[in-house]
């Protein structure tokens, strides 16, 4: 019976190779195969050893993408060949990265693994914008939320009252297309339209851009075609320029 290989789930951070951890670089250099997300590609793959199989399995909103079941099956198949496999995920794989489904597949196949955290994209976005995610006296709570469900729509089970809390810093992942609807729902629960907001696009990439305004202005900005760049939205007491 073939001894299964070993899978390292590696958080790639926001895409800047200088933000990789030393452990992440080590695993890339030793991997026989690297299965990578779109946002974890580019110069980061330059750390992979020559001859390693590089397999793109990324999913992007609005584009043809492999099914999660196919990605999990591919990961298991590579691991069962007996080598070292890196599953390279953008940001930190434990934040909206479908990590649990891939872990379940490995456990069912008896494949050992490790999880190497990466710089969360929310932290990288705040750093790029020059703001903290917490602020003494005015923002003692940070909340992360996904901006769309499996169908691409605004999730119907989010806690809108919590998201409308003016004393929390909120970070919305994958929310450009649904933010106008979210902003309307938040306004109905009392969040002022003048609440400061930031749109941080392509964080860590050469095309990185940061837009600052208000929740109402951002909703209007995104009401048309929001564009293809990946983005995070921050709003609350931390997003302004006091």
Catalytic residue among 23, 26, 53, 59: 59
Alpha carbon 235 to its chain centroid, in Å, reads 17
For residue 67, CA distances in Å to 72, 88, 124, 190, 227 come to 9, 17, 28, 39, 23
The rounded distance, in Å, linking the Cα atoms of 182 and 24 is 36
Which letter, b or e, does each residue of 62-74 get, where b requires 16 or more Cβ atoms within 10 Å of its Cβ?
eeeeeeeeebbeb
Phi, psi of 205, deg, nearest 5: -105, 160
89: annotated active-site residue:
no
Catalytic residue among 16, 37, 92, 165: 37
176: annotated active-site residue:
no
Which residues participate in catalysis according to the annotation? 37, 59
């Amino acid at each position: 019976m073939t001894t299964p290989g070993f899978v390292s789930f590696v958080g790639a951070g926001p895409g800047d190779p200088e933000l990789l951890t030393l452990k992440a670089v080590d695993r890339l250099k030793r991997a026989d195969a690297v299965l990578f997300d779109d946002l974890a590609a580019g110069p980061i793959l330059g750390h992979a050893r020559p001859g390693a199989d590089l397999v793109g399995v990324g999913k992007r909103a609005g584009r043809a993408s492999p099914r999660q079941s196919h990605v999990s099956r591919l990961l298991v198949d590579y691991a069962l060949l007996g080598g070292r496999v890196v599953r390279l995920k953008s940001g930190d794989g434990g934040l909206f990265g479908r990590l649990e489904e891939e872990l379940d597949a490995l456990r069912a196949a008896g494949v050992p693994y490790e999880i190497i955290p990466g710089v969360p994209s929310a932290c990288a976005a705040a750093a790029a914008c020059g703001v903290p995610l917490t602020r003494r006296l005015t923002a003692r709570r940070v909340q992360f939320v996904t901006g769309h469900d499996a169908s691409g729509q605004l999730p119907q089970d989010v806690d809108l009252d919590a998201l409308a809390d003016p004393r929390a810093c909120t970070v919305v992942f994958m929310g450009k297309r649904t933010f106008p609807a979210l902003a309307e729902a938040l306004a109905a629960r009392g969040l002022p339209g003048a609440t400061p907001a930031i749109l941080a696009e392509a964080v860590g990439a050469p095309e990185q851009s940061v837009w600052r305004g208000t929740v109402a202005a951002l909703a209007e900005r995104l009401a048309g075609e929001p564009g293809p760049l990946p983005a995070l939205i921050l709003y609350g007491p931390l997003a302004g320029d006091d």
